[in-house]
Structure 1
Amino acid sequence: MDKWSILKGRVISEKAFGVQEEGKYVFVVDKKANKVEIKKAVEELFGVEVEKVNVINVKGKRKVFKGIKGKRPDIKKAIVTLKEGQTLKEL
């Protein structure tokens, strides 16, 4: 799997910014990517050392819009912990 297709984007939320001070960054990743691939992609793209990767599969919410039932897509999030003293540059 290509390193550019593994990371789909950053999660922008209050909680994601809170853990950023601890050296943890939250990304939306490809559903088929595993922890090893995510670690390699972050290290190569940002030039940092990754300590560990935690992965969360998030089910999409069911919604009703103008009487039509639908479902948001499922996503996979990765919480990447960097080694002590390392940070990602502003993206």
Structure 2
Amino acid sequence: MTNTAPTLADIIRRPLVTEKATLLLENNQYVFEVDPRATKFDIADAIEELFEVKVVSVNTYNPPKKKRRYGRFVGNRAHYKRAIVTLAAGDSIPLFPDL
């Protein structure tokens, strides 16, 4: 199995909606769960292509592994990476479309 970089469509897994993420929306920053192999440049390109916005900066956070128990079996949670994407003034991503 080779460790190749993911395609642009596979880089962004899902937007994260947490208390901190909603506070960051005021600063035009969005939080996404991304592929752990993706670089900041890959993430910026994927966001610009998918949502047609201008990305100013990308900050990434790779949290440590957490243990998970299921009965007597011990394992780790699935590995993920977070990206905080800052957009240019005037750009926005509709996370909550009108229903």
Pairwise same-fold verdict (TM > 0.5): yes
The reply to whether residue 22 of structure 1 matches residue 27 of structure 2 is yes
SS of corresponding position for 1:28:
strand
Deviation at 1:65, TM superposition (A): 2.9
Which residue number in structure 2 is paired with residue 86 of structure 1? 91
SS of corresponding position for 2:13:
strand
How many residue pairs get matched?
91
Deviation at 1:82, TM superposition (A): 0.3
User: Contact 1:60–1:75 (CA<8 Å) still a contact in 2?
Assistant: no
Aligned-residue CA RMSD (Å): 1.3
Deviation at 1:58, TM superposition (A): 1.3
The reply to whether residue 43 of structure 1 matches residue 48 of structure 2 is yes
SS of corresponding position for 2:27:
coil
User: Contact 1:61–1:71 (CA<8 Å) still a contact in 2?
Assistant: yes
Instruction: Give the structure with the higher percent strand.
Output: 1
Deviation digits for residues 22-76 of structure 1, max 9, x if unmatched? 1000001111110111001000100110000001111231122333322112211
Counterparts of 1:90 and 1:11, CA distance in 2: 10
The reply to whether residue 32 of structure 1 matches residue 37 of structure 2 is yes
Structure 2 unpaired stretches of 5+: 1-5
Instruction: State which of 51, 59, 63 in structure 2 corresponds to 1:58.
Output: 63
User: Contact 1:59–1:75 (CA<8 Å) still a contact in 2?
Assistant: no
* Runs of 4+ residues over 6 Å off in structure 1: none
User: Contact 1:46–1:88 (CA<8 Å) still a contact in 2?
Assistant: yes
**TM-score normalised by L of structure 2:** 0.83
Structure 1 unpaired stretches of 5+: none
